[in-house]
Amino acid sequence: MLPSRGVGWKYDLPPHDIAPAQREACLASNLKINRAGRIFIEFPRSSISMRGISFFGGLIILTYTMVFIVPDIITSLLDDWQSGIEITAIGIMIVTLSTWALLPLFRMDLRLPRDEPIRFNRARQKVYFYEYRFDRLYPFGSKGWGVKPVVYDWADLTAEVYKVYAPMGYGGPIENVMISVRKTGTEEVIDRLFLCDDIEQGKQYWALARLYMQSGYDALPDCIRPLQGQKVGNGLNPMQYLAPKVRWPAEIDLESRSAPTTGSLLNR
């Protein structure tokens, strides 16, 4: 079970069953949409705003370590064995802690998918997240790492706005719109997933999702429809080209793109 509110929570966006105003949906005309049809709509998503920073930053730190720190340690050992042992211990501790802290970011830069889409299936009233999981405590492991899509009922989702102020050296305010998942019929939060890192954009995506899930494809404003089918990724930086492509597991891919055989909302 997760906390009912995360650190930095400010407010919830309108509930899933509250219809958005037409103006709210039209504001989303500049959003990228992977696909849209009568069964599902797919939004792009990226939990890393600028891929490559950790990769190249790690290389710089590694280079600095090999060029400056390691030679100093060797020199200290040669000059004074006792003092050199102390300096070596400190150097090993610094390198170990740096590796433990940076390796998860380094791995994410290389292994995070090019896109982390969300599919809203109106026919099934379910939402499919192409979720990439990682475990900072075990940066060398594989069990807690990798793409692990999850599926939740639309009625159990709540969009939440977060805003925290990091030290100014880090960049000041950090905004996120998250989707919390409650256990059906309760207020117990069982998962919390990233939507986007811009509050206004998050509001627009959430309004569009509500409009589509409540009223269907025909309710989408004309200003939005021309965006369907656009490929996300124009202007990708080189590190994003190296990232793995989106490959939904076959079973969940088929389910997320189809309507149930009986009782489909499309037949009502």
Q: Tens digits of per-residue pLDDT, 1-22? A: 789 999 999 999 999 999 888 7
The reported pLDDT for the residue numbered 38 is: 92
pLDDT, one tens digit per residue, over 222-263 is 766 544 444 444 455 666 677 788 999 999 999 999 999 864
d(CA 142, CA 127): 26
CA–CA separation, 233 and 240 (whole Å): 8
What's the first-to-final CA gap in the chain, in angstroms?
36
Give the pLDDT score at 236: 53
Take residue 133 and report the two structure tokens written for it. 């999981």
CB 91 within 8 A of CB 64: no
| Residue 248 backbone phi and psi in degrees, to 5 | -65, 140
**Three-state SS annotation for 205-225:** HHHHHHHHHHHCHHHCCCCCH
pLDDT at 132 over 90: no
Structure confidence by residue, pLDDT tens digits, 89-109: 776 776 677 666 666 667 777
Among left, alpha and beta (phi > 0; psi -120 to 50; other), residue 221 is: beta
Distances (CA, A) of 87 to 67, 68, 90, 96, 101: 16, 13, 5, 14, 21
**Amino acid 264: pLDDT:** 43
Residue 197 predicted with pLDDT over 50? yes
Residue 228 has a pLDDT of: 47
Phi, psi torsion values for 162, nearest 5 degrees? -125, 145
Q: Does the pLDDT value for residue 211 go beyond 70? A: yes
The reported pLDDT for the residue numbered 207 is 93
Burial of 175 (0-12, 13-18, 19+ CB in 10 A): middle
Q: How many helices (H) and strands (E) does the chain have?
A: 7, 11
* Average pLDDT value for the chain: 80
pLDDT band at residue 186 under the 50/70/90 scheme: very high
Q: What percent of the chain clears pLDDT 70, i.e. is strictly above it?
A: 68
Q: Where are the domains of the chain?
A: 9-47+115-257, 53-111
